[in-house]
Amino acid sequence: MRIETISVHAGRAVDKATGAVTPPIHLTTTFEREKGGEYPKGYNYSRNNNPNRESLEECLYKLEDGKAAAAFSSGSAAAMSILQSLSPGDHVLASDDIYHGTRKLFKMFEKWGIESNFIDMTNTRDFVTSVKKETKLVWIETPSNPLLKIINLEEISGLAHRHNLVVVCDNTWATPVLQQPFEFGVDLILHATTKYIGGHSDVLGGSVISKNDEEFFLKIREIQNSGGAVPSPFECWLTLRGIQTLPLRIRSQSESAMQIAEFLNRHKSVARVHYPGLPKHPGHPVASVQMHMYGGMISFEVKGGQAEAMKAASKVKLFTRATSLGGPESLIEHRASVEGPDTKTPQSLLRLSIGLEHPADLIEDLEQALS
């Protein structure tokens, strides 16, 4: 089935007990045992499993054409489960421009003996020379946050597999509608479902999706069940509801983002636009192969540095000044000040999450803010 159909139907069925077309929310922590002690419906306690979580997980792995998914209470909890599956002494090779929260997690795990290196994975030479005998995992984010760098998934996965490494791709920015990392050899996909998948800026969540239901994923499942960073039934229900419109939303957001990136690219107050849909973006050729569209996120650098960037952000009327992304409303953010003093993000950079408004209204707002 095609992704539009999967989005509407996967993990959902008419409720057998009531005929309800929309699934009920199972607000229960515990499930009844049979006289002999069995759990006939397969559920025993909601930390281990719950019908709403099971529905969401089924939908998520089907969207990515994988075998299994584990849902978590946030994207960061999902990312943490991957690191917790490693052992002291293991080494992770990560791409250099990744979500700053993920970078903080890598730092946090140093004291448990998990070392990580950040390298430019747009360049395979750096990759080959950085693999060590302790390396276990490769962590890719493409398009990256906030510079929209594009990493060649097929090339990096191919190199990684020669060294028997597990390849993780954070697919939050592309979504399974625009990019299907398993097609290019990736082993595990991470999502902050908080963003496009939930899609309405009203529910946090994360998930790890596995191409094969194998050993590494079983460790993730055990961490999910025993660690307990699980989403509530209502959060699962909201996320599953959001997914029904995911393909429509992300395509509309990508179309608008393309128009807005072209507008910014022509604007005389703008020094540089980071958007892989622009032919001059260094990742454009690879993005054109591994993505169906270029996504709803844009970063751009304002001429005049931090002061001018902050000024433009202060003048918007339709965009909302806020962090996060992937919701129906467009957001603008001075990224460096969110990431803190040791950030490498340019001070002149503003990041846009393009929502579902009419692109002409968004362009008018940016025009007046940049004037």
* DSSP run (H or E) holding 72: strand 68-72
Q: Please pick, from the candidates 101, 158, 227, 328, the single residue that binds ligand PLP as defined by CB under 6 A.
A: 101
170: contact with ligand PLP by CB under 6 A: yes
95: contact with ligand PLP by CB under 6 A: no
Size of the site for ligand PLP (CB under 6 A): 16
Cross-sheet strand order for the sheet of 91-95 = 68-72, 206-210, 188-192, 166-170, 135-141, 91-95, 115-119
90: contact with ligand PLP by CB under 6 A: no
Least Å distance, CB 192 to ligand PLP, is: 3
CA distance 171 to 140: 9
Preceding amide of 279 cis, omega within 30: no
171: contact with ligand PLP by CB under 6 A: no
Determine the Cα angle at 133 with ends 219 and 145, to 5°. Answer: 65
HSE toward the beta carbon, residue 325, CA cutoff 13 A: 26
For the question of residue 335 being annotated catalytic, the response is no
Residue 170 DSSP label = E
175: contact with ligand PLP by CB under 6 A: no
Of 131 and 156, which CB lies nearer to ligand PLP in the complex structure? 156
194: contact with ligand PLP by CB under 6 A: yes
Q: Please pick, from the candidates 84, 135, 145, 179, the single residue that binds ligand PLP as defined by CB under 6 A.
A: 145
196: contact with ligand PLP by CB under 6 A: no
165: contact with ligand PLP by CB under 6 A: no
204: contact with ligand PLP by CB under 6 A: yes
| Catalytic residue (one of 53, 103, 136, 195) | 195
Determine the Cα angle at 338 with ends 232 and 243, to 5°. Answer: 35
195: contact with ligand PLP by CB under 6 A: yes
For the question of residue 221 being annotated catalytic, the response is no
> What residues numbered 205-224 form the site for ligand PLP, per CB under 6 A?
206
| Catalytic residue (one of 43, 61, 99, 196) | 99
Residue range at the interface with ligand PLP (CB under 6 A); choices 119-127, 168-176, 221-229, 308-316: 168-176
**Hey, is 209 helix, strand or coil?**
strand
Burial class (CB in 10 A: 0-12, 13-18, 19+), 262: middle
| Tokens of residue 251, six digits | 């395509």
231: contact with ligand PLP by CB under 6 A: no
Residue 292 DSSP label = S
Residue 193 DSSP label = T
CA distance 287 to 211: 22
> What residues numbered 30-89 form the site for ligand PLP, per CB under 6 A?
74-76
Binding marks (x or -) toward ligand PLP, 345..364, rule CB under 6 A? Answer: --------------------
For the question of residue 47 being annotated catalytic, the response is yes
| Catalytic residue (one of 12, 39, 47, 315) | 47
**Hey, is 353 helix, strand or coil?**
strand
| Catalytic residue (one of 170, 211, 249, 335) | 170
Residue 147 DSSP label = T
| Tokens of residue 59, six digits | 């939908």
Least Å distance, CB 348 to ligand PLP, is: 21
253: contact with ligand PLP by CB under 6 A: no
* DSSP run (H or E) holding 241: helix 233-243
| Tokens of residue 10, six digits | 């996967």
**Hey, is 349 helix, strand or coil?**
strand
Residues classed as catalytic: 47, 99, 170, 195
Site residues for ligand PLP per CB under 6 A = 74-76, 99, 101-102, 141, 145, 170, 172-173, 192, 194-195, 204, 206
